[in-house]
Amino acid sequence: MVRFLIRRIILGVLVMIMVTMLVFGIFFVGDNAETVAYRLAGKNAQLKTVNLIIKRLHLHDPIYVQYWDFLKRLVWHHDLGYSYYGNEPVSTILKQTVPVTLSLAIGAAIIWLVIGVLSGVLSAVRRGSILDRVITTLALFFYSMPTFVLGLMLLFLVSYQLQVRGIRIFPGQGYVGLTQSPLGWLESLTLPWLTLALVSAATYSRLTRGSLLEVLGEDYIRTARAKGLRERRVIFRHGLRSALTPVASQFGIDVGVLVGGAIVTETVFGLPGLGLTAVRAISNGDLPVIIGIVIVASAAVVVANIVMDMVYAFLDPRVRLH
């Protein structure tokens, strides 16, 4: 298990190095130093700022020197750059936005995993029943529902309608920090959580159902039943563990991408997370912030997949041999 984990971490480090090379190549290579500096300075850049960027980033040096300096600042000093549009370090901006996106991603992931897996198990156990058809219909309905449409529907049907009646439980937009008010934090994230969870749970419901039906047809499941084990033990102890391997793989991808920025949901609900920050940075031409978000989002995907590889190896020990 330790060797398996070490291999995955080394692979993750190599992926991040490739990401930094790609980002550096896209944003820093191919143009002269002045052009690159003007892009980094953003809109309404002044000559003094441009000269400062050229000097600070060594843009007149060879490309390999620039990349090494870029990598060194990133790894040793955790320096993601400086936003000349906002006049503050990119790391400062991300420290304010990452907790919002993490709160959104983790809460939504827990909800959609519980709803998706449980509904998938019920659908597989009651295959062909009315319950199975209802779950399948709801899964297809929410799967085909665009995230922004569902978010706007919840805003109108829940937040707006309750506020009209004098019940101010769920705010329409905005975010309250957990340390500021735990109850306010919960209220501000409930509708965004449901928006993401209901759409994503549909995928996990169908995935769990199909995988569990396949596993329940295996010989070892029939042997367990022949030994007289209770059906609940057969399903949850023997069948579900094997059926969750594809779910774990999908979960790692989804959570990693979501941590990288749930752009639509954050925009609809006015959550100042990575997604909304990315939209604003693109609108303002704030290139250093965009670069920082790309690197952080890539790291989130890599870390999430390493964690899910560990879970996958626990669910299926054969994975450790590869």
Distances (CA, A) of 58 to 68, 77, 81, 315: 11, 17, 13, 49
Buried b (16+ CB within 10 A) or exposed e, 150-174: bbeebbeebbeeeeeeeeeebbbee
Tokens representing 207 are 């995935």
Residue 84 placed within a domain: no
For residues 221 and 75, state if they share a domain: no
Residue 87 placed within a domain: no
Q: What is the pLDDT of residue 17?
A: 92
For residues 165 and 51, state if they share a domain: no
Which residue is it, tokens 């980002």? 23
CATH number at residue 176: 1.10.3720.10
Residue 99 placed within a domain: yes
For residues 111 and 252, state if they share a domain: yes
Q: Which helix (H) or strand (E) holds 83?
A: strand 82-83
For residues 153 and 299, state if they share a domain: yes
Residue 58 placed within a domain: yes
Task: Decide which of 56, 79, 102 is a domain's last residue.
Answer: 79
CA distance 173 to 35: 39
Q: Which helix (H) or strand (E) holds 88?
A: strand 88-89
CB 64 within 8 A of CB 263: no
For residues 133 and 8, state if they share a domain: no
Q: What is the pLDDT of residue 219?
A: 75
Residue 86 placed within a domain: no
Q: Which helix (H) or strand (E) holds 205?
A: helix 182-216
For residues 102 and 75, state if they share a domain: no
Residue 98 placed within a domain: yes
Residues 96, 99, 105: CA angle, nearest 5 degrees: 140
Q: What is the pLDDT of residue 316?
A: 63
For residues 111 and 180, state if they share a domain: yes
CA distance 28 to 32: 9
For residues 120 and 258, state if they share a domain: yes
Domain region containing 307: 92-321
For residues 171 and 209, state if they share a domain: yes
Maximum separation of any 2 CA atoms in the chain, in Å: 81
CB 143 within 8 A of CB 202: yes
For residues 69 and 134, state if they share a domain: no
Task: Decide which of 79, 108, 140 is a domain's last residue.
Answer: 79
Helix 240-259 to helix 182-216 angle, to the nearest 10 degrees?
A: 140
Phi, then psi, of 88 in degrees rounded to 5: -160, 155
Closest CA to 298 of 256, 264, 262: 256
Task: Decide which of 54, 79, 104 is a domain's last residue.
Answer: 79
For residues 66 and 122, state if they share a domain: no
Buried b (16+ CB within 10 A) or exposed e, 99-119: bbbebbbebbbebbbebbbeb
Residue 240 placed within a domain: yes
Assessment of whether the complete model's pTM goes beyond 0.85: no
For residues 151 and 69, state if they share a domain: no
Mean pLDDT per block of 10 residues along the chain (322 residues) reads 79 91 87 82 77 85 89 87 85 89 89 90 85 86 84 82 72 79 86 88 87 80 77 76 78 74 82 86 86 88 81 64 52
Residue 152 placed within a domain: yes
According to DSSP, residue 218 is labeled S
How many folded domains does the chain comprise?
Answer: 2
CA distance 161 to 154: 10
How far, in whole angstroms, is CA 32 from its chain's centroid? 35
